[in-house]
Amino acid sequence: MEVLDVLKPETLTEVKSLFTEYQNCKILAGGTDLLLDIKNGKQSPQYLIDLGNIKALKKIEKVRKDIVIGSMVSFKTLSEAKIIKQYFNSLYHSAKGMGSPQIRNLATIGGNIINGAPAADITPCLISLDATLVIESAEYERFISCEQYFIDYDKEKVRENEVLTKIIIPKKKRLTGFYKLGKRNSLAIARVNTAISIEVKQNKIKRFAVCLGAVGRYPFRVLELEKMVVGKSLDYLLADEVLEKLENAVFASIKTRKTMPFKKEAIKGVFKKALENAYGEVIL
């Protein structure tokens, strides 16, 4: 089947009405995943809805206690926005290290989430930051945590009449870090990536989140480990039993994969690097 038309709405309202007017539509954001999928026959929509002209989706705003990121914000914008760098170190580094300059100019945060690749770079950050996705259709608007979205993927994934509009991240004081292990510096898809977020109170860990990517169908948190470190000092994050938990989590997730022996070893180094990234200093 061939794409018959590329529709270019100017507003979100128009997008929603296009869903009812046209059948077999697909949203086109940056196109860095979708156009290749179409070329390789993995997707065959009849209509593309190009969100490129909708200015409202390209904003990053501070709204009360949250930062709200439009789904059409590009990786370039994300990596250059002061408020991202200020509040979400992990997100900033993840965006900065993604793809190449050309790809970062084009690819969007929304596309990265919705495409749902195991090795997506933004998703682990969002999950570790307790981000919420705002998904809209002509009839309703639903809010779902990014984590839940992937846990319940088959049920929660965006439907044909829905569009992801915003990502909301609570603006809390926390140390956050990201590291991606790729085969080279630029244009590398993650072999393993990890995002962490630490809330500290009186030198003790109050809340900890760690999300691992490229070691399962979707990025996931290691809850057991997160609980284990609460109340401990930061040093404890490098304890053998912590690293062992990570190793076990990777093993359990990809037991039968050929890459398992490598990845369960690599995760420990990647985790340390993510911590370094959060502290802004070398700890190894």
Partner 1 sequence: MIKVTMTVNGKLYTREIPPMMRLLDFIRDELKLKGTKEGCGEGECGACTVIIDGDIYNSCMVLATSCEGKRITTIEGISGAELHPIQEAFLEVNAVQCGYCTPGMILSAKALLDKNINATEKEMKEAISGNLCRCTGYQKIIEAVKLAQKKLKKR
Ligand X SMILES: Cc1cc2nc3c(=O)[nH]c(=O)nc-3n(C[C@H](O)[C@H](O)[C@H](O)COP(=O)(O)OP(=O)(O)OC[C@H]3O[C@@H](n4cnc5c(N)ncnc54)[C@H](O)[C@@H]3O)c2cc1C
Place of tokens 């309202």: 13
What Å distances lie between residue 274 and 49, 112, 135, 139, CA to CA?
37, 20, 30, 41
Residue 185 in the binding site for partner 1 (CB under 8 A): yes
Of 233-272, which residues contact ligand X (CB under 6 A)? none
CA angle in degrees (0–180, nearest 5) for 202-206-210: 135
Choose the binding region for ligand X from 23-31, 125-133, 204-212, 263-271 (rule: CB under 6 A). Answer: 23-31
Does position 27 interact with ligand X (CB under 6 A)? The reply is: yes
Q: Is 98 in the site for ligand X (CB under 6 A)?
A: yes
Query: Is residue 107 at the binding interface for ligand X, with CB under 6 A as the rule?
Result: yes
Q: Rounded distance, CA 273 to CA 283, Å?
A: 8
- Among 16-24, 113-121, 139-147, 168-176, the segment contacting ligand X (CB under 6 A): 113-121
Site string for partner 1, 226-245 (x = CB under 8 A): --------------------
Stretch that binds ligand X, among 5-13, 116-124, 203-211, 250-258 (CB under 6 A): 116-124
Strand 163-170 to 141-145 pairing:
unpaired
Instruction: Find, among 142, 133, 153, the residue nearest to 220 by Cα.
Output: 153
Q: What are phi and psi of 111, to 5 degrees?
A: -60, -40
In the region spanning residues 161 to 220, those forming contacts with ligand X, defined by CB under 6 A, are 163-164, 187, 189
Sites for partner 1 among residues 39-98 (CB under 8 A): 39, 48, 50, 52, 76
State which of positions 243-272 bind partner 1 (CB under 8 A): none
Q: Which of 68, 78, 84, 158: binder of ligand X (CB under 6 A)?
A: 158
Q: Are 211 and 127 in contact (CB under 8 A)?
A: yes
Closest approach of ligand X to the CB of residue 122, in Å: 6
Contacting residue, 18, 121, 195, 225, with ligand X by CB under 6 A? 121
Q: Would you count residue 29 as binding ligand X (CB under 6 A)?
A: yes
200 has which bridge partners?
205
Pick one of partner 1, ligand X, none as the site partner of residue 39 (Cβ within 5 to 8 A by kind): partner 1
Among 103, 134, 144, 238, which residue interacts with ligand X (rule: CB under 6 A)?
Answer: 103
Least Å from the CB of residue 114 to ligand X: 3
Counting every residue written for the chain, the total comes to 284
Between 39 and 64, CB nearer to ligand X? 39
Q: Contact, 179 vs 269, CB < 8 A?
A: no
Residue 196 binds which one of partner 1, ligand X, none, with CB within 5 to 8 A depending on kind? none
- Examine residue 102 and tell whether it contacts partner 1 (CB under 8 A): yes
